[in-house]
Structure 1
Amino acid sequence: MSRIDYLNDPNAPAANSVVPSVTVAIRDGAGRILLIHKIDNDLWALPGGGHDAGERITDTAVREVREETGLDVEIVRLVGTYTDPNHVMAYDDGEVRQQFSLCFEGRWTGGQPREDGTETKAVRWVNPAEIDNLNIHPSMRLRISHALDSARTAPYLG
């Protein structure tokens, strides 16, 4: 299913749902961050996805990383909350979601990076200096920036 992200766009469709979701920032020993190339919007992003009933939100984060990248992770901390009502995602089935996402930092504990062919068409360790060269939505850039900011001691609340 394809999707279009709208941010601060007065012509964006009105939201008709809110689905809690997660993203996870994972770094390797060389300081690179794991990014996925998404099939639904053709953008680079942190791995993540929607919360399912019956899960703890950290279990959602672990499951989504494993599904999309093949990696096993342990959740280390909350990077921030992202609930901007001016960021909506319109899907081709008519659903328009208001952003509601928690970003976590995860520690890589096992597995090898691989795309899943359903949600991700590529999985890559990216040097932070190369991030500006990738097609990344502004809301995702904000999360990546917060995750890479080692001086940040408190989660972002926005």
Structure 2
Amino acid sequence: MSQGIPYGIFRMKRKRGTAVILRHGKLLLVRERKNNHYSLPGGGHKKGEPWMCTALREIKEELNLDVRRAERLHTLDFESTHYSHKVSLLVTDQEPKVNSAEILDYVWWHPDSIVSVAPSVRDLWNRIVAAGLKDCCTNGDAHDRGCK
């Protein structure tokens, strides 16, 4: 038996383009095939790809969503157990169409919901509220908050 450093203690976190999609004060979350809880949509970053493009690509692949506005939000970037999340705020008028190869389902989540979420989601929600972004994308007013 090896007496070395325990597995994973110094393992690099994967970089991930993560999307925050808000509608009527609720946050879009997905349940991936590999997880038992809901988390933010997004996925793996390709070398040289702008972070916002990673989030946009993953949203199209996983949820078949076309985005009408997008903004990279450096202030909402965060670390979770396995990932380094680079967050973008995305605005869409569409309902997701789940790619069942990757995603089981989705939910428009609010903190009062009983849905089981990833631990980092509640913390991010508090940061969204503190930044005044919770209602920024309701009724098309994303532009007023600096969304592109």
TM-score (norm: length of structure 1): 0.67
The question of 1:146 aligning with 2:127 is answered: yes
Find 1:82's aligned residue among 78, 85, 107. 78
- Alignment partner for residue 107 of structure 1, among 85, 91, 97? 91
Contact 1:114 1:123 in 2 (8 A): no
Q: Distance in 2 between matches of 1:82 and 1:41?
A: 19
What is the aligned length? 126
Distance 1:123 1:114, change over 3 A: farther
How far is 1:43 from its partner?
1.3
For the 8 Å contact 1:25–1:147, the answer to whether it is kept is: no
More helix by share: 2
Displacement of 1:111: 4.1
Which residue in 2 is equivalent to 1:4? none
Could you tell me which residue of structure 2 aligns to residue 125 of structure 1?
108
What is the aligned partner in structure 2 of residue 24 from structure 1? Answer: 19
**C-alpha contact (below 8 Å) 2:51/2:72 kept by paired residues:** no
Residue in 2 that maps onto 1:42: 36
* Alignment check: 8 A CA contact 1:15 1:88 kept: no
> Could you say which structure has the larger radius of gyration?
2
C-alpha RMSD over aligned residues:
2.4
Structure 1 partner of 2:146? none
Residues 81, 69 of structure 1: alpha-carbon distance in 2 compared, 3 angstrom cutoff: same
Contact 1:33/1:128, CA 8 A, preserved across alignment = no
What is the CA distance between 1:40 and its match in structure 2?
1.0
Identity among equivalent pairs (%): 25
Is the Cα contact below 8 Å between 1:12 and 1:88 reproduced in 2? no
Mark the runs of 5 or more structure 2 residues left unpaired by the alignment: 1-5, 134-148
SS at match of 1:27: strand
The match for 1:5 is none
1:119–1:147 Cα change, 3 Å: farther
Q: Distance in 1 between matches of 2:110 and 2:26?
A: 5
